[in-house]
Amino acid sequence: MEVPAKILVVDDELQIQLLLEEFLTSLGHTVRVAGDGEQALQLLQREAFDGVLADLKMANLGGMELLRRIKLSHPTLPVIMITGYPTVEVAVEAMKEGAVDFITKPLRLDTVRLALARIAGNRSSRQSIITQPSVAAISGPPPLSTLPGKIKELSILYTISEAFETITETEAIFQRLAHVACEIVGAQCSSFSILDYESDSIRSKTLKVGDEDYLLEVRSTMDVRTLNWLTKERRPLLFNDEQPGIVIPVFIKNELLGILSVWDKQQQGAFTEEEVLLLLTLCRKAALSLENQFLYESLYQSLLETLKALVTTLEARDPYTRAHSQRVSRYATALAAKLGCSKEEQEIVTVAGFLHDIGKIGICDAILLKTEPLTSAEYEIIKVHPVIGEQIVQHLGYFSREKSIIRHHHEWWDGRGYPDGLMRHQIPFLARILTVADAFDAITTNRPYRAGCPFREALDELDCWASIQFDTEVIAAFRHVIEIDLPRAALTR
């Protein structure tokens, strides 16, 4: 139980006032509220308080000045500063001025409760946040209430707040989560176990810090009983065995996504309450990033499917181009893999392959579906389609990597292509790949003016255009892809 105290809350945000008043009252404290520093000083003149929670940024006497004045009139009164803009400099200044603690917005009630425990000086009254019977109570070193400790705590909070900022891959978020978890509690090992609902199993990524980021995929040994407990209780579970460890469930929209496990602390001993709270904060941050990532991926997939449907419809109107983009995408992806492109580059080529001719939507049917040879004026109009395609995907905001490949898929190695007349290595490498795949499919499928070429003849024809229209290196790899890598039977013609 908390020791009842009389607390002065100073904040100009009504929501924060109400939140703190309700929470502190629920803990049995008496609460008075002031909307700014001036009001707070007036209340302090009239009434006695056990502690003050003050916002840093307020009109009419800000928190820092209020702190200075309180320290002049009530030198022993504990003051906790609150801020939405934490920096090490501000924290140092507040602590130098005599603040006993420094907490950050958005407020977390467990953090507020811990800070109040410091006011009361009653650490023993802190209620364990974990009550699973097989788990030992949280214990550990004294709170980080000293200045160096506070700076360290802020620096850790900063690390957590920035942990997932630039990461856009789900797997990378899992890895970062495991890595930062080790970092902030000084542990040697951590893992993130992903629940695979389809196969009813747990996949586990185990990260060993200090071993050159050696990543090992292992089967989790987590038992069903523990899993059920975590799902039901939604709380961390501590193991204070010979090797102390902690497992924390990570939920997204009420569904258990996975479990963070951390163990093998460098400084032996149980996990402290501060460490548990930091790990919980990290997990919440990861869950938010993952949720955003899932949302992004789902929107991206819907948009891509819509565009693919559009291309399919566009091609279906002309029997000679039916399923052309689908085949080009397939050839180009296999070719990119053959040429040693990364997984990400292969994915870009797959998508660009599907969408490369989407700009033809802006060309009138009289030209697009014409079966006779095009006039030079008509050909000039057709040549605009890569630019229209680039503009279409550019405005959707999701295809920044694919747009230049779409724009340049008709450039020639010798500079005689369109729309920009780029030559040789000026042409993006992935566009050079797509160009070969596109040409091969055009040669091997029937056109109004000729029958499709057999594959081997088509490859010979491409060879004739090496160093003129195509990159020689790409042509050589493509022959290998068609003759050896892609089983002929699997190719849809």
Least Å from the CB of residue 356 to Fe ion: 6
Q: Which is nearer to Fe ion, 55 or 357 (CB)?
A: 357
One-letter amino acid of 123: R
CA 386, CA 405: separation in Å to the nearest integer?
9
What are the C-alpha distances in Å from 116 to residues 191, 365, 401? Answer: 33, 73, 51
Q: Which is nearer to Fe ion, 265 or 408 (CB)?
A: 408
Q: Which is nearer to Fe ion, 357 or 441 (CB)?
A: 357
Q: Which is nearer to Fe ion, 49 or 413 (CB)?
A: 413
Least Å from the CB of residue 389 to Fe ion: 8
CA 270, CA 239: separation in Å to the nearest integer?
8
Least Å from the CB of residue 455 to Fe ion: 21
Least Å from the CB of residue 473 to Fe ion: 22
Least Å from the CB of residue 412 to Fe ion: 13
- 368-399 core/surface letters (b: 16 or more CB in 10 A; e: else): beeeeeeeeebeebbeebbbbbbebbbeeeeb
Which of the ranges 181-189, 312-320, 352-360, 478-486 carries the binding residues for Fe ion, by CB under 5 A? 352-360
- Counted residue by residue, the chain has a size of 493
Q: Which is nearer to Fe ion, 279 or 388 (CB)?
A: 388
Q: Which is nearer to Fe ion, 274 or 357 (CB)?
A: 357
Q: Which is nearer to Fe ion, 176 or 407 (CB)?
A: 407
Which of the ranges 100-108, 159-167, 351-359, 413-421 carries the binding residues for Fe ion, by CB under 5 A? 351-359
Least Å from the CB of residue 357 to Fe ion: 4
Sign for the pseudo-dihedral over CA of 361, 365, 370, 375: negative
Least Å from the CB of residue 394 to Fe ion: 17
What part of residues 269-288 is at the interface with Fe ion (CB under 5 A)?
Answer: none
Q: Which is nearer to Fe ion, 274 or 411 (CB)?
A: 411
Q: Which is nearer to Fe ion, 58 or 311 (CB)?
A: 311
Answer for the pair 321, 345: CB distance below 8 angstroms, yes or no: no
Least Å from the CB of residue 19 to Fe ion: 58
Least Å from the CB of residue 386 to Fe ion: 6
Answer for the pair 416, 428: CB distance below 8 angstroms, yes or no: no
Q: Which is nearer to Fe ion, 272 or 394 (CB)?
A: 394
Cα angle value 7/13/17 (rounded, 5°): 30
Q: Under the criterion CB under 5 A, does residue 441 sit at the interface with Fe ion?
A: no
With contacts defined by CB under 5 A, how many residues of the chain interact with Fe ion? Answer: 1
Least Å from the CB of residue 490 to Fe ion: 24
Which of the ranges 38-46, 79-87, 133-141, 349-357 carries the binding residues for Fe ion, by CB under 5 A? 349-357
What part of residues 165-224 is at the interface with Fe ion (CB under 5 A)?
Answer: none
Which of the ranges 106-114, 232-240, 350-358, 449-457 carries the binding residues for Fe ion, by CB under 5 A? 350-358
CA trace torsion 301, 305, 306, 308 (10° rounding): 140
* Burial (CB count <10 Å: 0-12, 13-18, 19+), residue 40: buried
Which residue's CB atom is positioned nearest to Fe ion?
357
Give me the 353-392 binding string for Fe ion, x by CB under 5 A, dash otherwise. Answer: ----x-----------------------------------
Least Å from the CB of residue 324 to Fe ion: 9
Q: Which is nearer to Fe ion, 250 or 439 (CB)?
A: 439
Q: Which is nearer to Fe ion, 325 or 346 (CB)?
A: 325
Give me the 227-266 binding string for Fe ion, x by CB under 5 A, dash otherwise. Answer: ----------------------------------------
Least Å from the CB of residue 382 to Fe ion: 8
Least Å from the CB of residue 314 to Fe ion: 12
Q: Which is nearer to Fe ion, 32 or 408 (CB)?
A: 408
Q: Which residues bind Fe ion (CB under 5 A)?
A: 357
